[in-house]
Amino acid sequence: MMRLVIILVVALLLGLGLSLGLQYDLGYIRISLGNYLVETNFWVGVVLLVVLTLALMLLISAVRRLTRGTGAVTHWLARSQKRRARRRTTEGLLALAEGNWPHARKKLESSAEQAETPLINYLAAAQAASEAGDHDAVDELLRKAFESTPGSDLAVGITQAQLQLNANRLEQALATLVRLRKQAPHHPFVLKLLKNTYLRLEDWRELSKLLPELRKRQLGDPAELDRLERTVWHNLLHRAAEECRRQGNQDLSTLTRLWDELPSSMRRDEHTIRVYTELLAKAGQEAQAETLLRKVLRNHWSDELIHLYGRICGSKPDEQLLAAERWLQDRPNNPELLLALGRLSLRNELWGKAREYFETSLHLRRSQETLAELSRLNAHMGDEDASMRLMQGLVRETGLPELPMPKA
């Protein structure tokens, strides 16, 4: 109400001023445009000027409103596209989870450019293409993912390596991971993927170089890493022994050099020692194997290693037997040691002592291996009845079926 009153007062004042001004002759306005000449009264010119100004202002205002309206339409269209992109992305992810690879790829790729996170769309679409076996499409989608988001090279590279591993493209995965490791040397997931790749490629040498980094970064359960390290070095030892056999290398220099390369923890590991000494024995180096086993057993007892010690023929069987009998003083009731002593007694042609050791071991533990040894010894010593009784007991324990046998 107050605004209306003010407008009326201003209009009255302007009208009053104009009526008073018209009583005076203030001259005229003359405008020359080329061959045209326009003359008008001063007050008429003022009115025309005011009208032109108001018209110009109205035109500017209309243009502004039109511009704002166009921007609103553009904004509305953009929001609508984003909503559709979110819907298609959701549909694509659901299809991916359901295993509908072609549908998932189509939805995810088509909505990637309008999506808020195009990187996610392209990576998921690449996974769908990989599951469908279209490796060329995978590479193209990963390229688009890289171009869509600055700084995504590590994420794209890791995804690429995973997809290559899943598709059993091991050489390509290895190349990708080696490149990523140069870029991020200590990235935990890159190191884990690299470990899995070396393991599947059976690249034991490179895996042996990677293991210290895995331990340092605590990338895995310690017990699991111990098993992995044992597997790595056992395979390397077998390969070295095979190489020596192929080359006819009687001094086993390749195998012994590799043994010197082993970490100290592996040279103390009884399973690794067993593998190494078995390889030495198979290569004709039983004396060297016996010397190593005797040294180890003197400081670190192992039933697994004493069992192997009884099977190996050293250069001096009598000294080998004496060494084992000294260990018996501290372990009089160890069945594995007694079995080994029985075998070492046989090597020294001490038949009665061998039978005594076998019988004592069998009394402490019913072992099919000990039964077989004692039965064989009795048969060769002429005690056929004792051998037959042992053989019948062995047949019962192994669960052999009742079958007809030839009569003597």
pLDDT, one tens digit per residue, over 180-202 is 999 999 999 999 999 999 999 99
Q: Which of 257, 274, 279 is nearest to 310 (CA)?
A: 274
Compute the distance between CA of residue 98 and CA of residue 104 in angstroms, rounded to an integer: 9
- Residue 87 falls within a domain, yes or no? yes
Residue 99 phi/psi, 5-degree rounding, is 85, 15
Of 7-11, 88-92, 106-110, which range is least confident?
7-11
- CATH code, domain carrying 195: 1.25.40.10
The set of residues, in sequence order, having a beta carbon less than 8 Å from that of 179 and lying 6+ positions away, is 157
- Residue 86 falls within a domain, yes or no? yes
Q: Which of 193, 200, 156 is nearest to 178 (CA)?
A: 193
On whether both 100 and 129 belong to a single domain, the answer is yes
Confidence of residue 28 (pLDDT cuts 50, 70, 90): low
Based on the structure, what is the number of domains in the chain?
Answer: 2
**What pLDDT is attached to residue 400?**
47
* pLDDT tens figures, 274-326: 999 999 999 989 999 999 999 999 999 999 999 999 999 989 999 999 999 99
Q: Could you list the residue range(s) of the whole structural domain that residue 108 is in? A: 81-134
- Residue 91 falls within a domain, yes or no? yes
On whether both 123 and 162 belong to a single domain, the answer is no
- Residue 4 falls within a domain, yes or no? no
- Residue 240 falls within a domain, yes or no? no
Choose one of 214, 245, 263: the last residue of a domain.
214
Choose one of 172, 191, 214: the last residue of a domain.
214
Residue 405 has pLDDT above 50, yes or no: no
* Tally of helices (H runs) and strands (E runs) in the chain: 20, 2
Q: Are 110 and 102 in contact (CB under 8 A)?
A: no
- Residue 170 falls within a domain, yes or no? yes
| pLDDT above 70: percentage of residues in the chain | 76
Compute the distance between CA of residue 279 and CA of residue 305 in angstroms, rounded to an integer: 14
- pTM, 2 dp: 0.72
Choose one of 163, 189, 214: the last residue of a domain.
214
Of 71-85, 112-126, 129-143, which range is least confident?
71-85
On whether both 161 and 196 belong to a single domain, the answer is yes
Q: What's the mean pLDDT in 222-250?
A: 90
Q: Which of 274, 344, 263 is nearest to 303 (CA)?
A: 274
Residue 404 has pLDDT above 60, yes or no: no
Q: What is the mean pLDDT of the chain?
A: 84
- Residue 294 falls within a domain, yes or no? no
- Residue 23 falls within a domain, yes or no? no
Compute the distance between CA of residue 355 and CA of residue 42 in angstroms, rounded to an integer: 145
Confidence of residue 84 (pLDDT cuts 50, 70, 90): confident
Q: Which of 75, 73, 111 is nearest to 91 (CA)?
A: 111
**What pLDDT is attached to residue 249?**
58
**DSSP per residue over 266-335, as a string?**
HHT-HHHHHHHHHHHHHTT-HHHHHHHHHHHHHHS--HHHHHHHHH---S-HHHHHHHHHHHHHH-TT-H
Q: Are 101 and 129 in contact (CB under 8 A)?
A: yes
Residue 33's SS3 state is: strand
Q: Are 337 and 306 in contact (CB under 8 A)?
A: yes
Q: What's the mean pLDDT in 380-402?
A: 64
